[in-house]
Chain A
């Protein structure tokens, strides 16, 4: 064998080794072109329910949120509309960019966090509890204004560390079952976990109406469900880890269509 051929062989073996180890150590990311929203894993009935505003149960919260948007409240007696005007214009695309960096907090906030910040600082009213009817409704109303738009959180020097922290959580084997998010959502999507098809885990439609919940719920609630299933300790309600994880998930879903309020089984 020529010297050159030997070198080529050596390089090739090294590459094979690296690939083999890379795959053993961590899950494989889904190629961008193969990503699928949870919508695509649903049957025609659930899809039709999501697509038709008169059938989508999440729309009730959106209307609820519209009323809250226009209601004056807090020490300033200001409404959201008082500052932001017509949400169908001012909030177009906003939800698809969240979590976004907030300079005063020195970290990214998710949409719920930003809404509560406006409520506390701008309206001088007490922030809404996570998962409360009001916070879900306002979030759903703002999120609705991004329907059909591409997801595009801003990743720059300020948000990169939080994206990395979110990715680390996604890749961490945790809980009594010793599983990572990636092992299910990157490696095993499309397979059945008992009867349930494992989706890719894209946060395209939150807040979303789950038939199992019989209510609208936030992405945090969904993430808690998966953590509980892994028998891992859920992060505290409103914990920054959820925001980091959300930032990672939104980046992972970059370019996909935002579809809140989605419907899921």
Chain B
């Protein structure tokens, strides 16, 4: 079994093109309390990432309060209310690497490159989202209160 809620530091995520001002995402309990970058997340940009089928990919699996999006997934819980159910740090952990909360999850790790096999060459060594994009997504999810 993999350690689940043991606090430790994600090492090799920084094989991704790293921005100088990134901090190392430190897990405390089931959360990453500290933002990954110093610049505050922008919920407007975050929403755009979440609904983009090539960037966030979230709506492949999730549905949510996005009336303009016709095609939404049924593989995962509704995103509506996520900001009420979870703290900012808990949401950050789930986007960075949902397997830390649930080892059997099908939710892709958005900020991890180690432990992945046969990644297509165009994406090899790159995280699904950048640290800044993750902060934007978290800021947006925090606005989903009901």
Looking at chain A, what size class is its interface with the partner chain?
20 to 34
- A residues with a Cβ closer than 8 A to B are 24, 172-179, 183, 187-188, 191-196, 227-228, 231-234
Q: Tell me which residues across on chain B come within 8 A of A234, comparing CB atoms.
A: 120
The answer on a CB contact under 8 Å between A193 and B61 is: yes
- Nearest residue (CB) in A for B106 is A183
The verdict on A193 contacting B60 (CB below 8 Å), with A176-B119, A179-B106, A231-B120 known, is: yes
**Is the CB–CB distance between B119 and A175 below 8 Å?**
yes
Across chains A and B, the number of contacting residue pairs, with CB separation under 8 Å, is: 69
Type the 1/0 row for B91-119, where 1 means its CB is closer than 8 Å to any CB of A: 00000000000011010110000001111
Task: Select the stretch in B27-35, B41-49, B70-78, B132-140 that faces chain A.
Answer: B70-78
Given contacts A176-B108, A193-B61, contact A233 B118 (CB under 8 A): yes
With contacts A191-B75, A193-B75, A231-B123 taken as known, whether A176 is within 8 angstroms of B116 at the C-beta atoms is yes
Q: Is A172 a contact of B117 with CB atoms below 8 Å?
A: yes
Query: Which residue in A24, A175, A195, A231 is a CB contact (below 8 Å) of B70?
Result: A195
- Give the residues in chain B near A192, CB-CB below 8 Å: 71-75
Give the complex CA separation of A116 and B99 in angstroms: 45
Partner of B103, one of A24, A187, A193, A231: A24
A194 touches B53 (CB 8 A): yes
15 more A-B residue pairs beyond the given contacts A176-B126, A179-B108, A233-B121, with a C-beta to C-beta distance below 8 A: A24-B104, A172-B118, A174-B116, A175-B116, A176-B128, A178-B109, A179-B106, A187-B106, A191-B73, A192-B71, A192-B75, A193-B61, A233-B119, A233-B120, A234-B120
A174–B57 Cα distance when bound, in Å, is: 17
